[in-house]
Amino acid sequence: MTGKLLEMRGITKTFPGVRALDDVSLSVAEGEIHALVGENGAGKSTLMKVLSGVYPHGSYEGQILVDGAEQRFRGIRDSEAAGIAIIHQELALVPTLSIAENLFLGHERARGGVIDRTRTREEATRLLARVGLRENPGTRVGSLGLGKQQLVEIAKALAKKVRLLILDEPTSSLNERDSEALLDLLEDLKRKGVASILISHKLNEIARVADRITVLRDGASVSTIEAGGAPVSEDRIIRDMVGRALTDRYPPRTPRIGKVLMEVRDWTVAHPTDPDRLAVDGVSFDVRAGEVLGIAGLMGAGRTELAMSLFGRAWGKKTSGTVRIEGREADTSTVRRAVEAGLAYVTEDRKQYGLVLDETIRRNVPLANLAGISSGGVLDEARELSVAREYRDKLRIKCSSVAQEAVNLSGGNQQKVVLSKWLFADPKVLILDEPTRGIDVGAKYEIYAIIAELAAQGRAVVVISSEMPELLGITDRIHVMNEGRFVAEMPVADASQERIMAAILRSGQSASARVRTPAPAA
Partner 1 sequence: MTDDSFAGERNTGALTADQPGAGGLRAGRRGHMSFVRAHLREYGLLIALVAIMLFFQIATDGILLRPINLTNLILQNSYIVIMALGMLLVIVAGHIDLSVGSVLGFIGALAAVMIVNYDINYWLTAAICIAVGGMIGAAQGFWVAYFRIPSFIVTLAGLLVFKGLTLWLLAGQSVGPFPPGFQLLSSGFVPDLLGGTDLNLLALVLGLALAFLVIVLSVRSRRNAGDDTDEPYALFAAKIGLAALAIVYLSYLMATFRGFPNVLIVMALLISVYMFVTNRTTLGRRIYALGGNEKAAKLSGINTERLTFLTFVNMGMLAALAGLVFAARLNTATPKAGAGFELDVIAAVFIGGASMAGGVGTVVGVVIGAFIMGVMNNGMSILGIGIDYQQVIKGLVLLAAVIFDVLNKQKAA
Residue ranges that bind partner 1, judged by CB under 8 A: 311-312, 314, 334-336, 338-339, 345, 347, 352-360, 362-363, 367-368, 370-371, 374, 377-383, 385-386, 389, 400-403, 421
Cβ-based nearer residue to partner 1, 61 or 380: 380
CA atoms 426, 429, 433, 439: torsion sign: positive
Shortest reach from residue 359's CB to partner 1, in Å:
5
Cβ-based nearer residue to partner 1, 90 or 498: 90
Whole-angstrom distance, CA of residue 249 vs CA of residue 335: 34
Whole-angstrom distance, CA of residue 233 vs CA of residue 221: 18
Cβ-based nearer residue to partner 1, 361 or 461: 361
Whole-angstrom distance, CA of residue 438 vs CA of residue 202: 10
C-beta separation of 200 from 206 below 8 A: yes
Cβ-based nearer residue to partner 1, 49 or 208: 49
Shortest reach from residue 316's CB to partner 1, in Å:
14
Alpha helices in 347-410 (DSSP H): 361-364, 381-394
Largest CA distance in the chain: 75
Shortest reach from residue 409's CB to partner 1, in Å:
14
Number of Cβ within 10 Å of residue 474's Cβ equals 26
Shortest reach from residue 20's CB to partner 1, in Å:
16
Cβ-based nearer residue to partner 1, 217 or 362: 362
Q: What is the DSSP letter of 333?
A: S
Shortest reach from residue 419's CB to partner 1, in Å:
13
Shortest reach from residue 12's CB to partner 1, in Å:
23
Shortest reach from residue 482's CB to partner 1, in Å:
26
Cβ-based nearer residue to partner 1, 17 or 520: 17
Cβ-based nearer residue to partner 1, 347 or 475: 347
C-beta separation of 198 from 206 below 8 A: yes
Cβ-based nearer residue to partner 1, 339 or 472: 339
Cβ-based nearer residue to partner 1, 290 or 435: 435
- Alpha-carbon distances, residue 486 vs 266, 280, 412, 434, 482 (angstroms): 11, 9, 30, 18, 6
CA dihedral 166, 169, 173, 177 (to 10 degrees): 70
Shortest reach from residue 294's CB to partner 1, in Å:
22
C-beta separation of 283 from 489 below 8 A: no
Strands (E), 227-316: 260-270, 278-288, 292-296
Three-state DSSP at 225 gives: strand
* CB within 8 Å of 55: residues ≥ 6 apart: 13, 46, 49
Shortest reach from residue 313's CB to partner 1, in Å:
11
